[in-house]
Amino acid sequence: MTRFVSLYKPPMFIALLFAALLAGGGIGRVFAATDPGVTVAPGALVGAATEPTVISSSPSNGETNVPTSTNTSDDVVTGTAVTATFSHLMDPETVNSSSGNLLTFTVKETDGDDVPGTVVMDDTNTVATFTPTWSILNPNTSYTATVTTAAKNAAGVAMANPVEWTFTTNAALVTGQAPVPLGRAASFAILTKSGITDVFPSAIVGNVGTSPITGAAILLRCAEVEGIIYSVNAAGPLPCRVTAPAFLTKAVGDMQIAYNNAAARKLPKFTNLRSGNIGGLTLVPGLYKWTTGVSISTNVTLSGGSTAVWIFQIAGTLTQANATSVILKGGALAKNIFWQTSGAVTIGTTAHFNGVILAKTLIAMKTGASAKGRLLAQTAVTLQKNDVKRP
């Protein structure tokens, strides 16, 4: 936290006079009152001695390269918190948020939208913390924090003027994770060990294959696939299927290697984030680990650049609710997002998914769901009038 300290040292006589006036509540007679409506920065000395103000903030006024998110001690990611330290003991009821009402202490994009969040005073009633409900602030963005004159001290005296400061977040998000190598499995939109069922019509862009089960378990039609349908034998959709057992054995082996590679990544950035319910969050690049299942109950956003990598290690199931989306922001690419799941994967009706699914069991696409990515399953994939496009 940065504190605002004056470097000016007044002569002793003036200092004694200032102290006497301060003791008598007369600071307003030493410093001219600020005009109504004027906004000051943290540390500005205005008004009477009994009027509270913000004496320091974090991030500080004008600070740059501010992190976009922080990881709490219990591995919950939030957008970077903003704090305001007051000159007086404050009445927390005038500062704390209530039912989402943030009229006293707010944070917004300087040229954009308000940031949703909560405000809580600490036990000393001198420091207020604004914690975004977003898990990340936007990179390379200017934010403005404001404490209004609704804030009052413990004696009921309000701030004389609003206090406002700005800060700017980091220009880019950084990840230490390398993409999961897919080998020969990279050419597939759908690759399974035990077959593909389909409710016609689906639309697949990319190769399709099954092994070791026979081509008879590929229930797609040739017209549904923009790519090659590989089979281990002469069975399978005609006239488009290609018999390539050796290639399929290697591709399925690479799929298994990729699953193991993702599962073996160490030192996750976030563990058991939000107990597995990631709906509504904006997630930074990095390694995430859950010892439970994961649900996408509402839209989830992955925000990062074109080289950013996300790896999700999920010990249970992955379930995406109907009509929800995995949204990519900031140049993020589906090919760099890996969902390694031990349990079944379900993409809900009309939902849209992004990323490479490395599933130990079933991947089920419900009616009208779509995906930009790869469905790589060690059992089966079930389709119901779906669009799947390899990135």
Summarize pLDDT for 142-197 with one digit per residue, the tens: 999 999 999 999 999 999 999 999 999 988 655 468 899 999 999 999 999 999 99
In a domain, 334, yes or no: yes
Query: Is 267 or 47 the better-scoring residue by pLDDT?
Result: 267
The length of the chain is 391
Chain-wide mean pLDDT for the chain? 87
Are 249 and 363 within one domain? yes
Query: Is 219 or 170 the better-scoring residue by pLDDT?
Result: 219
> Which pLDDT score is estimated for 128?
95
Mean pLDDT highest for which of 28-37, 63-72, 164-173, 216-225?
216-225
- The answer on pLDDT for 367 being more than 60 is yes
- According to DSSP, residue 9 is labeled -
- According to DSSP, residue 255 is labeled H
Residue where a domain terminates, one of 124, 144, 169: 169
Residues 6+ apart with CB under 8 A from 342: 314, 315, 316, 360, 361
The closest alpha carbon to 23, from 53, 49, 55, belongs to 49
Domain span holding position 138: 2-9+36-43+51-169
Q: Helix, strand or coil for residue 274?
A: helix
Are 144 and 240 within one domain? no
Model pLDDT for residues 317-364, shown as the tens digit of each residue: 999 999 999 999 989 999 999 999 999 999 999 999 999 999 999 999
In a domain, 24, yes or no: no
pTM: 0.63
Model pLDDT for residues 239-275, shown as the tens digit of each residue: 999 999 999 999 999 999 999 999 999 888 889 999 9
Amino acid at 295: S
Residue where a domain terminates, one of 147, 169, 191: 169
d(CA 326, CA 298): 9
Are 135 and 272 within one domain? no
Are 269 and 145 within one domain? no
**How many distinct structural domains can be found in the chain?**
2
Are 266 and 383 within one domain? yes
Average the pLDDT over 299-307 and give the result. 90
Are 339 and 244 within one domain? yes
